[in-house]
């Protein structure tokens, strides 16, 4: 079976953690965010907002986040990202993803400092020319996070289709309170994650990392089909 254009796009997309310095024009960012808003939304509530930063505003946020890490500021997580406790099968997936990333970077398993330095690059938005802070209204129901997730996927695919790379940054939620302070966000907005956006650095080994996906029989069930 020949892959469709969309399927090819899905297979090509990956998390980009190294970018070149090429600026992203505002019209391109606007086009990507407009595409993200086309995602399905229950009752057409269209939950979530996207705060796109570049230049000095992005540098200001990055500096505050890195200072917070360096001074040991206590993380403030306002929602649960991962299950707690995490089941063994899920923990194995998490470890495999981490191993693939650190192997590509040449960071050994026991190199705690190297692993921490790489993790802290989340707070630099991986040096992408554009950083996007994603928020959602605090009074939205849990299902609205699903709608926001569909918007994020639409954003990633729109960026991929235009030749840009992206990486979601869940770690930004660890300092949602600080992000609020620096950006002057409305109190009714909850910081969900960040997004790094820019042209991928084709020479960076970290951008070759691919994670495994479950086999169809592991996550899908079929009933009533012929053949």
Tell me the domain boundaries of the chain. Answer: 14-82+123-205
CATH of 14-82+123-205, one of 3.40.50.300, 3.40.50.620, 3.40.109.10, 3.40.920.10: 3.40.109.10
CA 6 to chain centre: 20
Reported as a single tens digit per residue, the pLDDT across 54-109 is 999 999 999 999 999 999 999 988 888 888 899 999 999 999 998 899 888 898 98
Stated pTM of the model: 0.94
148 closest CA partner among 211, 191, 198: 191
Q: What is the percent of the chain with per-residue pLDDT over 90, rounded to a whole number?
A: 88
Reported as a single tens digit per residue, the pLDDT across 115-135 is 999 999 999 999 999 999 999
User: Which whole-number Å values give the CA distances from 162 to 9, 122, 144, 158, in the listed order?
Assistant: 11, 23, 27, 6
């Amino acid at each position: 079976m020949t892959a469709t254009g969309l399927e090819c796009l899905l297979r090509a997309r990956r998390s980009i953690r190294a970018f070149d310095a090429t600026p992203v024009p505002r019209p391109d960012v606007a086009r990507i965010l407009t595409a993200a808003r086309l995602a399905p939304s229950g009752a057409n509530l269209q939950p979530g907002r996207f705060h796109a930063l570049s230049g000095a505003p992005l540098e200001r946020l990055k500096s505050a986040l890195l200072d917070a890490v360096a001074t040991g500021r206590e993380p403030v997580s306002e929602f649960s990202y991962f299950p707690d406790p995490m089941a063994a099968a899920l923990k194995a997936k998490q470890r495999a993803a981490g191993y693939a990333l650190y192997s590509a970077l040449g960071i050994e398993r026991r190199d705690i400092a190297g692993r921490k330095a790489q993790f802290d690059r989340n707070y630099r938005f991986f040096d992408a020319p554009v950083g996007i802070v994603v928020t959602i209204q605090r009074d939205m129901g849990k299902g609205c996070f699903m709608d926001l997730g569909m918007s994020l996927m639409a954003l990633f695919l729109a960026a991929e289709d235009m030749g840009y790379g992206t990486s979601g940054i869940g770690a930004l939620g660890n300092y949602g309170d600080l992000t609020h302070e620096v950006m002057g966000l409305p109190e009714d907005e909850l910081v969900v994650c960040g997004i790094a956006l820019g042209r991928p650095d084709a020479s960076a080994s970290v951008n070759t990392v691919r994670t495994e996906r479950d086999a169809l029989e592991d996550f899908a069930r079929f009933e009533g089909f012929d053949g």
